Amino acid sequence: MKLSNLNIGIISQARMTSSRLPGKILFECKGVTILEHHINRLRASDVPVFVATTTNATDDPVIDTLLNLDIPYFRGDEQNVLSRYYYTALENNLDLVIRVTSDCPLIDGLLIKKALEDHLKSYSKNLYTSNCIERSYPRGFDFEIFSFELLKEAFDTATLPSDLEHVTPYIHQNKSGNVLFNSIRNFEDKSGYRVTLDTTDDWKLISKLINDYNAEDLGYLEIIKLLDVNKDLALINAHVEQKKVE
For the stretch 168-189, pLDDT in tens is 999 999 999 999 999 999 999 9
CA atoms within 13 A on the CB side of 144: 25
Contact 118, 129 (CB under 8 A): yes
Contact in structure between 96 and 5 (CB atoms under 8 Å)? no
pLDDT tens, position by position, 123-149: 999 999 999 999 999 999 999 999 999
pLDDT band (50, 70, 90) for residue 1: low
Neighbours of 113 (CB within 10 A): 16
In this predicted structure, the answer to whether residue 246 has a pLDDT above a threshold of 80 is no
- The greatest distance separating any two alpha carbons of the chain, rounded to the nearest whole angstrom, comes to 51
Cβ neighbours, 10 Å, residue 95: 16
The mean pLDDT value for 79-84 works out to 97
For residue 5, what pLDDT is reported? Answer: 87
Predicted confidence at residue 241, as pLDDT, reads: 83
Mean pLDDT of the chain: 96
Under the banding of pLDDT at 50, 70 and 90, the label for residue 4 is confident
Query: Mean pLDDT throughout 218-244?
Result: 93
3-state secondary structure of 4: helix
- What is the three-class DSSP state of 9? strand
Q: Amino acid letter at 136?
A: S
Q: What is the pLDDT of residue 244?
A: 62
Quick one: fold of 3-198? Spore Coat Polysaccharide Biosynthesis Protein SpsA; Chain A (3.90.550)
- Check residue 242 and give its pLDDT: 75
Q: Using an 8 Å Cβ cutoff, are 62 and 14 in contact?
A: yes
Report pLDDT for 99: 98
Q: So what's the pLDDT on residue 73?
A: 98
What is the pLDDT at residue 10? 98
pLDDT at 2 over 90: no
